[in-house]
A and B are shown apart, each in its own frame.
Chain A
Amino acid sequence: MADSSWYVKNDVKEELEIATGDSAEDTLLDNYGARVDRYIDNEISPHITTLPVTTSLSAVLKDAAIAGVAAKYRRKNKEFDTANTYQEEFDKLIASAIKRLRRDSETQSLRVTVTRPYASEPLASDS
């Protein structure tokens, strides 16, 4: 699997209430983003058998990247409660994505219904 970019800087800035035009910490955020991207790739790559991932799964992983970068940023600023909340959200999103990637025929919610001719025989007692 090729390296992926789940981190989107402006989405993270919006979450952290940093103005779009404020670039004072762009380098720091990009650094955190690269690390979170690598971690997400490490976590999901063993489970991805087909590419590209679906749009909704990609959205989940981008949400996870926001939470992951926000957790690192808040931790750096000593906002430990908020950082832990973001970390928990990150872990849950990654776990949910992996759960979805690992689904098999028994856990599939989408099933195919096939209509076939129904053959029956009279019961022995009816004959």
Chain B
Amino acid sequence: MTVTEVDYWKMKERIRDILQDDTSNLYNATASDKTKFRKVEAGAPDLNKPIQGPFPRIFITNDDRFDKMTERAVIQTRNHKATEHRMIFKIILVCDGKNGPDAEEKIDDFTKIVLEKIKNHNDLSVPTNNTDPLADLSFPESVDILNRELIGDKIAGRVIKLRVIATTG
């Protein structure tokens, strides 16, 4: 029996594509200001240090233990039928501002836009034509601050944990 498993990297790239697709509110690769994200990348930041410019930017990576699997099988024959994956991806947002409150306002606004965007594509389909869904369902599970030391700083960060459920067989 041939089994096709989840392509984690493709999911990260799809989340990236979904976020990059919103060029009116969220992303601009040739920005002339900092009102939109200038970089949206799949993969953890260099040396796992997300505080690195240019700001504002997004990294899409995974949690430490990011996939829990549940096997489905037919009891009479013990045939493997399917695997349900419950994954957690991390969407790390970082931006800067003139001062602490300004940075906090910006990161809150950015977080709102990102949450709305990923909720609108909760099957992780291709954003331009809604084909090739990669998930049964996805939804933001939590929003955390990036680093307590940044509270009140002119650099602010958030970590959105995105729960992704997909079934393979």
Q: A-side interface residues toward B, CB under 8 Å? A: 16-19, 21-25, 73-74, 76-79, 82
How many residue pairs, one in A and one in B, have C-beta atoms under 8 Å apart? 47
* A23 and B55 form a contact (CB under 8 A): no
* B55 and A77 form a contact (CB under 8 A): yes
Considering the complex, give the chain A residue whose CB is closest to the CB of B54: A18
* A19 CB to nearest B CB, Å: 5
CB-CB < 8 A to A77: which residues of B? 51-53, 55, 96, 155
User: Which secondary structure characterizes the binding site on chain B?
Assistant: loop
Task: Let me know if B82 is at the binding interface, CB within 8 A.
Answer: no
Of B28-36, B67-75, B115-123, B126-134, the one with at least 4 CB within 8 A of chain A: B28-36
Contact check: which of A16, A19, A25, A78 meets B155 at CB < 8 Å? A78
* B135 CB to nearest A CB, Å: 30
CB-CB < 8 A to A23: which residues of B? 30-32
Tally B residues with Cβ within 8 Å of A.
17
Task: Let me know if B38 is at the binding interface, CB within 8 A.
Answer: yes
Q: B-side interface residues toward A, CB under 8 Å? A: 29-34, 38-39, 49, 51-55, 96, 153, 155
CB-CB < 8 A to B38: which residues of A? 18-19, 22, 24
A17 to B39, CA, bound (A): 10
* A82 and B30 form a contact (CB under 8 A): no
* B52 and A82 form a contact (CB under 8 A): yes
User: Which secondary structure characterizes the binding site on chain A?
Assistant: loop
* B54 and A24 form a contact (CB under 8 A): yes
Considering the complex, give the chain B residue whose CB is closest to the CB of A18: B54
* A75 CB to nearest B CB, Å: 11
* A24 CB to nearest B CB, Å: 5
A19 to B37, CA, bound (A): 12
Considering the complex, give the chain B residue whose CB is closest to the CB of A25: B54
A101 to B145, CA, bound (A): 51
* B47 CB to nearest A CB, Å: 9
* B101 CB to nearest A CB, Å: 18
A73 to B53, CA, bound (A): 8
* A79 and B30 form a contact (CB under 8 A): no
